[in-house]
Amino acid sequence: MVIGSLADNLTRGVENVASTLASPFTDTTIRLGVTGLARAGKTVFITSLVANLMDRARMGQLLAEAEGRIVAAYLQPQPDDTLPRFDYEEHLAALTSTSPHWPDSTRAVSELRLSLKVQPTGILGGIQGPRTVHLDIVDYPGEWLLDLALLDKTYVEWSQETLARLSERPEGTEFLALANAEDGTADLAEPRARALADAFTDYLNAARKAGFSDCTPGRFLLPGDLAGSPVLTFAPLPEQPNAPRKSLWREMERRFEAYKSRVVKPFFRDHFSKIDRQVVLVDVLNAIHQGPKAVEDMRRVLSEVMGAFRPGPNAFLTQLLLGKRVERILFAATKADHLHHTQHRQLTQITKALLRDAEDRANFAGAKTKALSLASLRATTETTVPHNGGELDCVRGTLMTGKEAAFYAGELPEDPARLLAPARQGAEAWLDGDYGNMAFAPSPLRLRPGEGPPHIRLDRAAEFLFGDKL
Ligand SMILES: Nc1nc2c(ncn2[C@@H]2O[C@H](COP(=O)(O)OP(=O)(O)OP(=O)(O)O)[C@@H](O)[C@H]2O)c(=O)[nH]1
Ligand SMILES: [Mg+2]
């Protein structure tokens, strides 16, 4: 029977081959993870990427588009019924309204499915109908990746490391005093646990504000529905080897373990393990603006992030992935529209150096990686202003206050080491220069038919991330 029907299939006409190949079984699904630390630009990236894939006039560097092979793009219901949908329409409306504004901060995992109808290349291209490629975009906070490192740590080890780091930061003084004054052997009193967890969360928030990136446990900053639950009501305490059962210290230890098994593991199991391609968005310019300590911290954090993608970093993850791994990882410095294009190369070089360093440190091998700088939504135009008898290439845009302003971020060095070396050596401030930062409002858009929102190199990012599958 089987042989008969096979032979029968072979004698069918070309049109039938086309319809067989275009059946749902040949649909390709790519799960694209989008992550980055808070405010890195995830929401704007996804919104603009989707808008630019639906209206592709600005996607010339996406090969399939340049070849005219993308026939259609449309949103579809996502495959996962229990994940919140990425609120594309609302975010796009914010960015493209008559008084455009940036979308609100998002605090959890969300997903969106964009399907592309693509004409295949090669010999089959002529006879075969368009294929469908589903792009399942998953947005998740980068902080959650950093929690992977917690899985390998005991409460004692985590406390030691965290308290040591705190003692080097002015933001940590208050919590440190509280933690050192605490009698961990005393019976657990919930208000004490709460006070410690609150003070610790305050420290994490202050540290993040000061530009530090290693603010774990990730859910303390983004609690979602877990806010106030015991699994988030713990804090690091100095070791108490003789703490009795039911003491504050023992309970903190128990909750730390619960955080690992009830919060961290499910994230890696349910979301992370399914990702095929990943983009890590990094606000490199902001870290440079914050100073050498923030850059050094970012560097360390990026290697931890890379660590999560390295095969075999952690027994639990290895078991979970069973050989499957993310195939491509893009490191993208966002908000490149804060710089005149003559400085984009420097920003890209710095991002490349950060990626290389992260790869070295994480002893990374396997996935294909790339670094670039981009702007998901260009909010500025380029301009040249007179300066000290010469001219200065800078950008102009509308500030959040509604005022127009020209802005020059500072001169980024040609050699990334000029920034990364002092950062590594623990410098307090940049010797060579001063780097500014400025928040621009999105500018009102006048889009022609077929045009998505203006961007910088979003098409290159797309080509690297999934161009090979189109
Ligand atoms: N000029 C410019 N600013 C950007 C761009 N992308 C993001 N921003 C700025 O960065 C802020 C954060 O962007 P989001 O996309 O909300 O960042 P996020 O990573 O989703 O942030 P959270 O949801 O808070 O974690 C925005 O409010 C803008 O001020 C860009 O392409 N150009
Ligand atoms: Mg967001």
Q: What share of the chain is helix, strand, coil (3-state, %, to 5)?
A: 45, 15, 35
- Nearest ligand to residue 46 Cα: 1
Cα separation, 467 vs 470, in Å, equals: 5
- pTM equals 0.88
Cα of 48 from ligand 2 centre, angstroms: 13
What is residue 42's predicted lDDT score, i.e. its pLDDT? 96
CA pseudo-torsion sign 107, 109, 115, 121: positive
What is residue 313's predicted lDDT score, i.e. its pLDDT? 66
Cα of 397 from ligand 2 centre, angstroms: 22
Cα separation, 410 vs 395, in Å, equals: 12
Cα of 39 from ligand 1 centre, angstroms: 5
**Both tokens of residue 105?**
């901060």
Cα separation, 354 vs 262, in Å, equals: 32
Pocket of ligand 1 (CB under 6 A): 36, 38-44, 102-103, 105-106, 334-335, 337-338, 375-377, 379, 439-440
Beta bridge partner(s), residue 161: none
Q: For a substitution probing ligand 1, which of 91, 92, 209, 335 has the most ligand atoms within 8 Å of its CB?
A: 335
**Residues in Cβ contact with 248 at an 8 Å cutoff, skipping those fewer than 6 apart:** 182, 183, 184, 185, 186, 187, 188, 189, 192, 193, 237
The region, left, alpha or beta by phi > 0 then psi within -120 to 50, assigned to residue 38 is: beta
Residues with C-beta atoms within 5 A of ion ligand 2: 42-43, 106
Cα of 457 from ligand 1 centre, angstroms: 16
What is residue 199's predicted lDDT score, i.e. its pLDDT? 95
Cα of 390 from ligand 1 centre, angstroms: 33
Ligand 1 atom nearest to 103, measured from its CA: 16
What is residue 78's predicted lDDT score, i.e. its pLDDT? 86
Which alpha helices (DSSP H) does 39-154 contain, by range?
42-54, 63-66, 88-96, 122-127, 143-146
**Residues in Cβ contact with 465 at an 8 Å cutoff, skipping those fewer than 6 apart:** 32, 277, 279, 328, 330
DSSP 188: P
Angle, CA 386 vertex, CA 398 and CA 403 arms, to 5°: 15
Beta bridge partner(s), residue 395: 382, 407
Nearest CA residue ID for atom 2, ligand 1: 335
What is residue 459's predicted lDDT score, i.e. its pLDDT? 97
Cα of 444 from ligand 1 centre, angstroms: 17
Per-residue pLDDT of the chain (470 residues; tens, 9 = 90+): 333 333 333 333 333 344 444 445 578 999 999 999 888 999 999 999 999 999 999 999 999 999 999 999 999 998 888 889 999 999 999 999 988 999 988 878 899 999 999 998 876 666 778 899 999 999 998 888 888 889 889 999 999 999 999 998 899 999 999 999 999 899 999 999 999 999 999 999 998 888 777 778 988 987 877 888 989 999 999 999 989 999 999 999 999 999 999 999 999 998 898 999 999 999 999 999 989 988 998 888 888 888 888 776 677 888 888 777 889 999 999 999 999 999 999 999 999 999 888 888 777 777 899 999 999 999 999 999 888 888 889 999 998 888 898 999 888 999 999 999 999 998 888 877 788 888 899 988 888 999 999 999 999 999 999 999 99
**Residues in Cβ contact with 295 at an 8 Å cutoff, skipping those fewer than 6 apart:** 287, 288, 419, 420, 423
- Nearest ligand to residue 380 Cα: 1
Nearest CA residue ID for atom 5, ligand 1: 335
Ligand 1 atom nearest to 376, measured from its CA: 31
